[in-house]
Amino acid sequence: MRLEHKIALVTGGSRGIGRAVVQRLAAEGAEVAFVYQSNREAADALVAELAAEGRTVRAVQADVRDAEQAQQIVDDIVARHESLDILVNSAGIVRDGLLGAMTAEQWREVIETNLFGAYHYCRAVAQQMMYQRRGSIVNLSSTAAEFASRGQVNYAASKGGIDGLTRGMAKEFAPRGVRVNAVAPGMIDTDMSKVVRGLVGARLNDIIPLRRIGTPAEVAAVVAFLAGDDAAYITGQVFRVDGGLSLGGY
Amino acid sequence: MPTQEEVFEKVRGALVEALGVDEEEVTPQATLVGDLGAESIDFLDILFRLQKAFNIKIPDKELLPQDILTNPEYVVDGRVTDAGIAELRKRMPFANLDSFAANPNVQDLANLLTVADMCRFVESKLATAG
């Protein structure tokens, strides 16, 4: 198995793409701890589902905006396993609204969760991965970072920040054996995209060249590839997983 | 409390691992930046290795007090003021700052740190931890 003996940490792991990432990393042999914010039932169900398949997965409740918690979680993993090979920053939220009506709270909540959250966890693992001279970080970006949608300036800004964080950190840490990449999903079948999918309606399949929305598992497959040694020569890249949505044109 | 020699051994081990230098290059007089090729990010790595080796906590700002080096009260036109030097001496008792004080370009501070300074820094941390 591709990720056997790898120790992984996934934020936002109980739902949506994060959940699919936990499933995929575990299926490839990694020992996974994932962070969830509030949905204990979903987290427990995922742990139970994977335990039934013989996978070791652990759920930790935390708010990704809390830097101290991030460090504690990372320190705990290192104390248990003496290493941490993979970090996937998947925790993310939307608080959509047109800019003219967007409150500072909507802006702050999204930036703090999506961007500060990733920063806190990147920073928490940085020294350990540098110490090991080994590690792979995959941040969840979005095609929204590059392609504008109405009502999502906060989300787009947070994901644009993720792209910058990914490239900058990749450059800093590459000489120390740590790779940092991002995956930018387009329209994926999750609760988070429900509202947008509802607004665009049936036209969606005409806009996407592959004529369908993507599945969380299809995003998780790319995350798992980047997390593992098959991607040993790739760092600082943002990979779109969007069925060709970003190709534009006619 | 480890002896000075034991501290040097562990500091040397951390520097060899973090910087990929040979043991022989790590002499007490060697400067971390100039002689051993440390970049600023390496200091994080070195401090982390020292924390593990000695089982102590070392906040990274204690080795190089960046808050002083970025404080306009202490740095004017890229040079550390007399008040800044006094503050640095207080915060970095492990380092000999005399030559820096003669020509206090803020960029040069990190370049002055030697392996011996690093050992004294660790010893001071061990003394407070113990």
- Report pLDDT for A182: 98
Domains and CATH numbers, chain B: 1-62+113-130 (1.10.1200.10), 64-112 (no CATH)
Domains and CATH numbers, chain A: 7-185+215-247 (3.40.50.720)
pLDDT reading at A143 higher than 90 = yes
Residues from chain B contacting residue A176 (CB–CB below 8 Å): 41, 45
Q: Which residue of A has its CA nearest to B53?
A: A131
Question: Which of B99, B51, B96 minimizes the C-alpha distance to A131?
Answer: B51
- Report pLDDT for A248: 84
Q: Is B83 touching A (CB cutoff 8 A)?
A: no
| Distance from chain centroid for Cα A121 | 11
Nearest chain B CA: its distance from A178 CA (Å): 13
CB contact under 8 A, A126 and B44: yes
Mean pLDDT of A102-119: 98
Catalytic positions of A are: 155
Residues from chain B contacting residue A172 (CB–CB below 8 Å): 41
Residues from chain A contacting residue B49 (CB–CB below 8 Å): 131
Residues from chain A contacting residue B48 (CB–CB below 8 Å): 127-128, 130-131
Q: Is B49 touching A (CB cutoff 8 A)?
A: yes
CB contact under 8 A, B48 and A130: yes
Preferred mutation among B19, B39, B40, B44 to probe A, highest tally of A CBs within 10 A: B44
Type of residue numbered A102: M
Q: Are A239 and A182 in contact (CB under 8 A)?
A: yes
- Report pLDDT for A192: 86
Residues from chain B contacting residue A127 (CB–CB below 8 Å): 44-45, 48
CB contact under 8 A, A131 and B48: yes
CB contact under 8 A, A172 and B41: yes
- Report pLDDT for B130: 61
Q: Is B62 touching A (CB cutoff 8 A)?
A: no
Helices (H) and strands (E) in chain A, counts: 9, 7
Q: Is B35 touching A (CB cutoff 8 A)?
A: no
Q: Is B45 touching A (CB cutoff 8 A)?
A: yes
pLDDT reading at A120 higher than 90 = yes
**Complete DSSP assignment for A117-183:** HHHHHHHHHHHHHHHHT-EEEEEE--GGGTS--TT-HHHHHHHHHHHHHHHHHHHHHGGGTEEEEEE
pTM metric for this prediction: 0.91
Preferred mutation among B39, B41, B60 to probe A, highest tally of A CBs within 10 A: B41
**CA distances to A23, A46, A171, B14, B123 from A90, in Å:** 13, 16, 21, 34, 42
Question: What band does A25 get if pLDDT is binned at 50, 70 and 90?
Answer: very high
Q: Which residue of B has its CA nearest to A131?
A: B45
Question: What band does A47 get if pLDDT is binned at 50, 70 and 90?
Answer: very high
Q: What are phi and psi of A76, to 5 degrees?
A: -65, -45
Q: Which residues of A touch chain B, with CB atoms under 8 Å apart?
A: 126-128, 130-131, 172-173, 176
Q: What is the DSSP letter of B114?
A: B
Nearest chain B CA: its distance from A147 CA (Å): 34
Preferred mutation among A122, A128, A130 to probe B, highest tally of B CBs within 10 A: A130
How would you write the pLDDT of chain B (130 residues) with one tens digit per residue?
889 899 999 999 999 999 999 999 999 999 999 999 999 889 999 999 999 999 988 887 788 888 898 999 999 999 999 999 999 999 999 998 998 999 999 988 888 899 999 999 999 989 887 6
What stretch of H or E contains B84? helix B82-91
- Report pLDDT for A35: 98
Q: Are A59 and A47 in contact (CB under 8 A)?
A: yes
Residues from chain A contacting residue B45 (CB–CB below 8 Å): 127, 130-131, 176
